[in-house]
Structure 1
Amino acid sequence: MQTLLITGAAGIVGTALRPYLRQKYRLRLLDRQPINGLQEGETALVGDLTDRAFVDQAVAGSHAVLHLACAHGTGIAFGSTVEPNYHATLYLLEAAQRHGVQRFIFTSSHHVIGQYRTDAAQTFDDMPAAADSYYALSKVFGEAACAAWTLRYNLPTFVIRIGNADAKVSDARRLRLWTSARDLAQLVRIGLEHPEVRHEIVYGVSECPNALFSNARARALGYAPQDNAAEHLAADFLPYEEMDPTHSGRDHVGGSYAGATLAPLLEIQA
């Protein structure tokens, strides 16, 4: 059984993925916070991805890396993303190349194209990046870094632009880009195992009504979502008509992120 290093494993997405992934892989779970409820086949590492030596030790002996960890938020300042999102991603890619890792999976976000209005296109799979936040900008960087490491070092990289990964669908915008943990785990397995993967960008979405993404490339690689967003609505689900257009970001791919104020340039240097 191969060893999969998961960064940010104590987070919501990492915790939800673990039951699906430990069926096929030994999981090396990395986070800054203690990881509770370890199961057979799981080991925990507590440390900081901005520590280059720690990253090197964590990656050594891993067959593959699933990079979930990041700093995020609608109003996050650029300076708050530099070490955890830019430096850490490069440290992981460097270590992966140095230690002969076979696959590197980078979890990006729909926020890399979040600035578009939802009526700007029928589907958004091939739209140029239009980051809606400094968080999203760091994801654009991560995608580019993955492509660079694939072309320069022949490291297979698989980018998943995750939609909304909440347990339930809370509103009409999220209904168009929601993913279940089960379907997201299926994409991770494709990234780890499909023989054609070199550098791919796919979308982490389940079956969604009036979907924002066709996810044609993922389907060509064998992706067959098992869950439908319409069957996972929250009890207080907000239809489109009841969403506040001035505060909810209902008309942008990135939702409220697209309307948040970016920090002034002076704060970037902080």
Structure 2
Amino acid sequence: MTERVVMTGAAGGIGTLMRPRLARRGRTLRLLDIAALPHPEPGENVDAVQASVTDLGTLQDAFEGAAAVIHLGGLSTEAPWERILDTNIHGTYTVLEAARRARVPRVILASSTHAVGFHPRDGVQAPDRLFPRPDTYYGMSKAAGEALGSLYHDRYGLDVVCIRLGACYDKPLLPRQLATWLSPDDCARLLEASLTAPAPGYRVVWGVSANTRRWFSLDGARALGYEPQDDAEQYAADVLAGAGGADDVLDDTYLGGAFCSPELDAEANS
């Protein structure tokens, strides 16, 4: 029997990286994005739906028969409140409500470090379910998404895994990413663990690789079956050389780094 997994935000950075990595025999990937999606490659077991994550009717139709939804869609950085409210907060509600109506049993929500960005760095690995202290409207939207996930689990019985994703790129680009990097391969491993863990209930876990300089606990992710295999340290010499040979200490005062700076104040800059 073919399993269907829906991925919102499939045309975005992480969605594009995950598309080939989540392909499996016996699995159909349904790719959903407001942007146009590339046509499937020959033999690729995917289909595509072009739609907004705020379109409840279309999402419900797209989710019918799915085993799980991976919700990556939304704005990925700071924006004015009205856009964050509509796309990230209302969009996450719409995804969860469409999943409930379509009887999808499991939803994986892409949360973010920025849901807890104003927690100071204290030299101790941040635990799972660290209480929200968002650094931006964007970070607040991710904290709201976690809360919505909790509601939909407790009230409606959905399994909901919220992953506070680190910096998911082919390799770390900045000194802080030596601690926060999530390799694309490890991201796929964590998503697979979240898809296949038996009865996860409601979880909030960190999504990072096994970085030598890691700031975050991996206990929760490992409890789902995640075993990271990559470490940003292999890139440390090049990353630090590109930054003048030293860590960016100012960027490490808070977990949210530059997102905590006055320059990212959406109201002050409007």
Pair in the same fold by TM > 0.5:
yes
Q: 1:183 to 1:244 in 2, by over 3 A?
A: closer
Q: Which residue is equivalent to 1:17?
A: 18
Change (3 A) 1:125 1:147: same
Q: Secondary structure at the match of 2:259?
A: helix
Confirm or deny that 1:50 pairs with 2:51: no
Find 2:98's aligned residue among 72, 89, 95: 95
Match of 2:32 in 1: 30
Structure 1 equivalent of residue 5 of structure 2: 4
Question: Deviations along 1:233-260, whole A, 9 cap, x unmatched?
Answer: 58454458645656xx233211211114
Between the aligned partners of 1:242 and 1:232, the Cα distance in structure 2 is: 14
> Out of 224, 232, 254, which is 1:252 matched to?
254
Indicate the RMSD between aligned Cα atoms, in angstroms: 2.2
Q: Which runs of 4+ in 1 moved over 6 A?
A: none
Change (3 A) 1:16 1:162: same
The answer to whether 1:175 aligns with 2:178 is yes
Q: Provide the residue aligned with 1:131 in structure 2.
A: 134
Deviation at 1:47, TM superposition (A): 1.4
In the alignment, which residue of structure 2 is the partner of 1:164?
Answer: 167
Deviations 1:118-172 (A, max 9, x none): 2x24011243211011001000000010011001011001111101112211222
Matched residues, percent identical? 33
Unpaired runs of at least 5, structure 1: none
* Superposition TM-score, scaled by structure 2 size: 0.90
1 CA distance for matches of 2:264 and 2:107? 33
Q: What are the equivalent positions in structure 2 for 1:57-136 lying under 5 Å apart? A: 57-74=61-78, 76-118=79-121, 120-126=122-128, 127-136=130-139
Partners of 1:2 and 1:240 in 2: how far apart?
A: 49
Q: Which residue, out of 120, 136, 148, partners 2:151?
A: 148
Specify the SS of the correspondent of 1:208.
coil
Residues 236 and 122 (structure 1 numbering): CA distance in 2 closer, same or farther, change over 3 Å? closer
Give, as a single letter, the amino acid of the residue that structure 2 aligns with 1:102: P
